């Protein structure tokens, strides 16, 4: 029962974060997401994976950790876990440290709102995923923030229509 409560609370908090961060407009306050997680100190390499469950200090890990390259020099990403499973906010970084994407993972797949950035910080792609598939509307922008394409996908990831500008 306690595990179910923790899962429920984690999902509510994550959903709240996703709603807050991915508001209705195209220029959301994405910097607040990365600021929240910039203080993370646990390295994902510290987790022990046993049969698909990630443990920290002998317990299934709930929280976020940082991914680095093999030399532990360049930050590559941030992953979130609930009860040892990859779930929650997921952030990728370019080699220069700027944010490449912000998304949400559940069941090992990207699910929910997703935004990818150009290296200069402008939004490149904004849309939603369901079990790793594009669904609904996606918007594509050039590196100056100008809308260059809109696409619409069905619930099975099939492209229904696309319009370029």
Tens digits of per-residue pLDDT, 14-27?
334 443 444 444 45
Residue 158, phi then psi, degrees to nearest 5: -85, 130
Task: Determine which of 39-53, 82-96, 110-124 has the lowest per-residue pLDDT on average.
Answer: 39-53
Residue 76 contacts residue 68 (beta carbons within 8 Å): yes
Is the pTM higher than 0.85? The answer reads: no
Q: When comparing pLDDT for 76 and 36, which is higher?
A: 76
- What span, in angstroms and rounded, lies between the C-alpha atoms of 86 and 156? 23
- What span, in angstroms and rounded, lies between the C-alpha atoms of 135 and 158? 8
Question: What is the percent of the chain where pLDDT is above 70?
Answer: 76
């Amino acid at each position: 029962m306690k595990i179910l409560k923790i899962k429920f609370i984690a999902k509510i908090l994550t959903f709240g974060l996703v709603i807050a961060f991915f508001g209705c407009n195209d220029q959301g306050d994405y910097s607040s997401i990365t600021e929240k997680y910039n203080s993370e100190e646990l390295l994902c390499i510290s987790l022990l994976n046993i049969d698909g469950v990630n443990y920290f200090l002998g317990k299934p890990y709930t929280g976020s950790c940082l991914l680095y390259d093999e030399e532990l020099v360049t930050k590559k990403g941030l992953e979130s876990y609930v009860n040892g499973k990859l779930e929650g906010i997921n952030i990728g970084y370019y080699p220069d440290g700027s944010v490449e994407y912000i998304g949400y993972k559940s069941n090992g797949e990207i699910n929910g709102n997703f935004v990818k950035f150009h290296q200069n910080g402008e939004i490149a792609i904004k849309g939603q995923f369901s079990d790793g598939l594009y669904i609904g509307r996606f918007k594509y922008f050039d590196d100056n923030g100008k809308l260059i394409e809109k696409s619409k996908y069905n619930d099975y990831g099939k492209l229904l229509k696309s319009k370029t500008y």
